[in-house]
Amino acid sequence: METRLFNSPYGELTLFRRPFRPRETLQAWDAADDYLLHYLSEHDLGANARVLIVNDSFGSLTTALADYACTLWADSAISQLCSAENAARNDKRPPQFIPATQVPEGNFDVILYRLPKSRSLLNYQLQSLAPLCQAGAVFIGAAMARHIDQHIVAAFAKNIATVKPSLARKKARLMHLDGEIFSGSAQSDTKTITLADHEMVLANRANVFSRDKLDQGSRILLDSLAKLDAPQHVADLGCGNGIIGISAAKRWPSAQFHYFDDSFLAINSAQRNVSHNLSEALQAARFTASDCLFDYKGERFDLILCNPPFHQDHHVGDHIARQMFRDSFEHLVTDGVLCVVGNRHLGYHILLKKLFGNCETINSDSKFVVLLARKTTPSNG
């Protein structure tokens, strides 16, 4: 892995991102993190300040502010891992971690809020933070200026308070609340959709991919399940609301299933949907919020189903897909298969053929392809 030095106002830090890449081109922080930390260094927090940090993607803020009583609230297993790992790398105290499935409570002096890409997560988090601001917590938001638009400003006004963006610094802005704090009751973040053609009702929480409808990629992957041999041990990698694994469980009722996703809210949605859409006999599944298959030590799979994300926050790329493919190869039995759906232009067939030595197209339409790669080499150990 490649690490980078971050010269923060709180000292020089060695930081890295996940998933790991040998020649990383992105930093584990951005100008909005730097702006936020400089602002704090110019204002006395107080030695005993309790700080709630929200959506710290790779732990740059929690590591820099480790001398304070920091709590991290996020919907990302990668955020949880990186905050702990970067703290250890810099001999710092790791933050207390609260997954997004829980709402932080108690008295905080300062809330540092990195704006998420997901609008549904933004609404959910702002409503959840409003009571803490009513109790006296000082709210400071931060984002790159290009990510702050009229919809973001409107979401603040609707869910917590009107907001006043600062002047830009290195193309980043801070956001300060500038009005009466929202005092209404928080609304449910769950959106329920009915898929009549698949005989499913899905409950999708905030931040779940394609929470309003069945996305085209998942649809063509579902149509491809009939072309696969019956498996015994299946992973739904990047499971989202669990629709791929649930459909597969209906088709192969004797198989064991394990659902993985970076999002805690997605895992919670998948758990709900498995319970609601499968008979009790088919509900014996495992659910893990994880960086791909990091630290998985269970039985190897003979089938991994995967609809990989092609972005991480606002950064577009295939680095998460690459990690998913490597982890899949590691955790497949010999002769096990990885079944992947992706946009045609992403070139996943090239990556899979290089890693597995083979790749075939089993389904396609004008935009998506479904690819099958088989592990033909023996497993290590």
Q: Is the pLDDT of residue 1 over 50?
A: no
Q: Is the pLDDT of residue 149 over 80?
A: yes
Per-domain residue ranges for the chain? 4-177, 191-374
Residue with tokens 């304070």: 68
What are the tens digits of pLDDT across the range 242-259?
A: 999 999 999 999 999 999
Q: Note whether 77 and 25 are within 8 A (CB).
A: no
- Dihedral sign for Cα atoms in the order 307, 311, 313, 319: positive
What number is the average pLDDT over the span 142-160? 95
Measure the CA–CA gap between 268 and 255, rounded to whole angstroms: 21
Q: DSSP E strands: which ranges in the chain?
A: 4-8, 11-15, 50-54, 69-74, 96-99, 110-114, 138-144, 163-165, 172-177, 191-195, 200-204, 233-237, 256-261, 285-289, 301-306, 311-312, 315-316, 332-343, 360-364, 368-374
User: Given this model, what pLDDT does residue 314 score?
Assistant: 56
State pTM to two decimals. Answer: 0.94
DSSP per-residue letters across 242-291? SHHHHHHHHH-TTSEEEEEES-HHHHHHHHHHHHHHS-GGG--EEEEE-S
Q: Which residues of 124-145 are buried (b: 16+ CB within 10 A; e: fewer)?
A: bbbbbbbbbbeeebbbbbbbbb
Q: How does residue 315 score in pLDDT terms, banded at 50, 70 and 90? A: low
What are the tens digits of pLDDT across the range 258-283?
A: 999 999 999 999 999 999 999 886 77
Measure the CA–CA gap between 73 and 95, rounded to whole angstroms: 10
What number is the average pLDDT over the span 15-40? 90
CATH classification (class only), 4-177: alpha beta
What are the tens digits of pLDDT across the range 215-237?
A: 999 999 999 999 999 999 999 99
Query: At 99, phi and psi to the nearest 5?
Result: -70, 160
Residue with tokens 């005993």: 48
Q: Is the pLDDT of residue 377 over 90?
A: no
CATH classification (class only), 191-374: alpha beta
Q: How does residue 311 score in pLDDT terms, banded at 50, 70 and 90? A: low
Angle in degrees, 0-180, between the axes of helices 243-251 and 216-224, rounded to the nearest 10:
20
In a 3-state reduction of DSSP, which class is residue 61?
helix
Q: Is the pLDDT of residue 370 over 60?
A: yes
Residue 112: closest CA among 168, 55, 185, 41:
55
What number is the average pLDDT over the span 54-70? 97
Q: How does residue 79 score in pLDDT terms, banded at 50, 70 and 90? A: very high
Measure the CA–CA gap between 170 and 39, rounded to whole angstroms: 13
Measure the CA–CA gap between 240 and 265, rounded to whole angstroms: 9
Q: Do domains 4-177 and 191-374 have the same CATH topology?
A: yes
Q: Is the pLDDT of residue 316 over 60?
A: no
